[in-house]
Amino acid sequence: QRRCLLLAMLFSILFVTTNFANKYVLSVLKFTYPTIFQGWQTLVGVVMFRALLSTGHIDGLLHGKEWHECALWLPGMMFFLISIYSGSKALATLPIPVFLAMQNMSLVFRATADLIFYGKIVSVYTYVMMMLTLVSALAIAKTDPQFEPDGYFWICVHIVSLGVFEIYTKLMKGRLKLRPTERLFCCYFYSVIVLAPCSYFLGDALEAATFPYLYFGQFYVGCILSGVLGMLMNL
């Protein structure tokens, strides 16, 4: 029980600090180039995976696995990429309290999916908490004095993609032989491969070349922290 409490506290700290680091880069420094920002974060994740593998902290990645196992996980990789891209776009315009309150809607999405697909009925306490989450999210969107349509659009995309990602993960449980760390590595590696050319074709790479804080030390500190903290949180 103590170990679970410590893990919950650690996750909470990583979750909050990761969001603040992301918000600093996206809103304070206004580095609003999601293909580059998320490409950097996922690249940091891939490098950290290799470092953990080299030091023996994790077992071999995809060792002895067939390629069709990775192919079965392809929809999960796609929804993961959509969720981090849309989350970055939403966080760039929405205040952190609004972003976190809206992001909690993914829990309602997940519980609804469990009811539809598995017939899993939640407790009265959980149902009340979900209703409060839903009502508070709608109230925030309705009364937000700095309402940004783009931000709310992207947070909706983020919620749906994150929910579908979790649903697909549950559906593949027992069918997919990839371990959780291997699935996460595939998501990071896939995101790097897709985001690298997208940053060029969408024009983010060219626009980022004129970013005023490109040689600002705090910019690189923020980017490194966001990548490392995000990776540790997902692990």
Quote the pLDDT of residue 85.
95
The whole-chain average pLDDT of the chain stands at 86
In the chain, where are the structural domains located? Answer: 46-66+179-235, 74-171
Closest among 107, 89, 91 to 99, alpha carbons compared: 91
Question: Using 50, 70 and 90 to split pLDDT, how confident is the model at 64?
Answer: low
Residues 16/17/23/29 CA torsion (nearest 10 deg): 170
Burial class (CB in 10 A: 0-12, 13-18, 19+), 114: middle
Residue 108 belongs to what H/E stretch? helix 105-118
Q: What is the DSSP letter of 203?
A: S
Indicate if the pLDDT at residue 153 is higher than 80: yes
Please state the pTM of the whole predicted model: 0.89
Q: What is the DSSP letter of 32?
A: -
Closest among 17, 38, 59 to 190, alpha carbons compared: 38
Indicate if the pLDDT at residue 16 is higher than 90: no
Q: What is the DSSP letter of 94?
A: S
Q: Which of 31-45, 64-78, 139-153, 207-221 reaches the highest mean pLDDT?
A: 31-45
pLDDT: which is higher, 60 or 28:
28
Tokens read off for 87? 């989350």
| Separation of alpha carbons 154 and 158, rounded Å | 6
Question: Using 50, 70 and 90 to split pLDDT, how confident is the model at 66?
Answer: low
Quote the pLDDT of residue 184.
92
Quote the pLDDT of residue 189.
93
Q: For residue 30, which phi and psi values (nearest 5 degrees)?
A: 60, 45
Indicate if the pLDDT at residue 120 is higher than 80: no
Quote the pLDDT of residue 222.
86
Q: Report, as an integer, the average pLDDT of 209-230.
A: 86
Quote the pLDDT of residue 15.
86
Indicate if the pLDDT at residue 81 is higher than 70: yes
